Amino acid sequence: MPIHSLLDATVVNTANNYFPIGVQLLFAAGFVATMLIMSALLGPKRKTSDKLANFESGIEITGNARQPMAIKYFLVAILFVLFDVEVIFFYPYAVNFRELGWAGFGAVAMFVGFFIVGFTYIIKKGALIWED
């Protein structure tokens, strides 16, 4: 067989070449379906109060899960996301800072300036103070 026929895309990519993959996918899906059905049919079905009780990682349940949480927790989570996104914006500048020149530096300086103003506002409002 000549080498140029091995590199021909029409010869290499035929439906016959994908048949074993299809058969394997069918067997895998059939195996999963069979195991799920068999475990549902043959598995134990004893429903006791202990089995029907909520399980919280081995810790006994205390109180109501729907009680209100302090807004400070969510505020800190949002601030974490804000800092994380800031770092993501710095990466393209760090990779291309020579090509971006002074215009890129100005854009990054403006971004940092806005960020510092926002962060100063958050500090002055006491968003990170947890004593109350």
Give the tokens for residue 61.
């349940």
CA distance 124 to 57: 39
pLDDT tens column, 88-129? 888 888 888 888 889 989 998 998 898 888 888 888 887 777
Q: What are the phi and psi torsion angles at 76 (to 5°)?
A: -65, -40
User: In the block, which residue shows the tokens 């994380």?
Assistant: 84
Instruction: Tell if the pTM clears 0.85, that is, is over it.
Output: no
* pLDDT, tens only, 25-72: 999 999 999 999 999 999 888 888 877 777 667 677 677 777 777 777
| Cα separations in angstroms, 111 against 41, 82, 97 | 61, 13, 15
